[in-house]
Amino acid sequence: MRTWILLFGFIGIVLLSLSVVPVHFDEAQYSTWLANPDLSYQTKGPWVTATQSMTHAFEFLPQLVQVRLPAWIAWLLSGVLLIWLGRLAGFDQEASSRLLILYVTSPLLFVLGMVHTTDI
């Protein structure tokens, strides 16, 4: 059940971020800089540059997906980490499922999973 909860939340984030959420100015900067690295220097840290460089290697994907893929992966891995930490804390499967439902339905975490930025 926990896998289904996380999967439905992930699908919701991807669908909403592709159809409703406009491009954030950070995402526009990442795309422009990676397309033309000679223009200037990257203003974000090396981790952002490295993840964007990796996802922009998937040229068959639309550019918006390339830019937002790190945010989606981070959101999904955070949910998996939450399940693992719940297991370490001694939560049973029912308590772990409730914790994951709170994670998936939290408005702040849901919004943060849609956009790849360091400013929010």
How many Cβ atoms are within 10 Å of 44's Cβ, its own excluded? 17
Whole-prediction pTM value? Answer: 0.79
* Within a domain: 117: no
Q: Is residue 120 part of a domain?
A: no
Range of the domain at 34: 2-112
30: which residues sit within 8 A by CB, 6+ positions away?
Answer: 44, 48, 52, 67, 116
Question: From CA 60, how far away is CA 16, in angstroms rounded?
Answer: 21
User: Which of 9-18, 45-54, 78-87 has the lowest average pLDDT?
Assistant: 45-54
Residue keyed to tokens 């999973």: 113
**Residue 110 token pair:** 């849901």
Whether residue 90 lies inside any domain: the answer is yes
Residues 19-77: pLDDT tens digits? 888 888 887 887 777 777 676 666 777 787 788 888 888 889 888 888 888 888 888 89
Specify the pLDDT at position 28: 80
Work out the number of other CB atoms within 10 angstroms of the CB of residue 78: 14
Q: What is the pLDDT of residue 39?
A: 67
Cα–Cα distance measured from residue 72 to residue 116, given in angstroms and rounded to the nearest whole number: 8
Residue 48 lies in a domain: yes
Would 118 be classed as within a structural domain?
Answer: no
What is the number of structural domains in the chain? 1
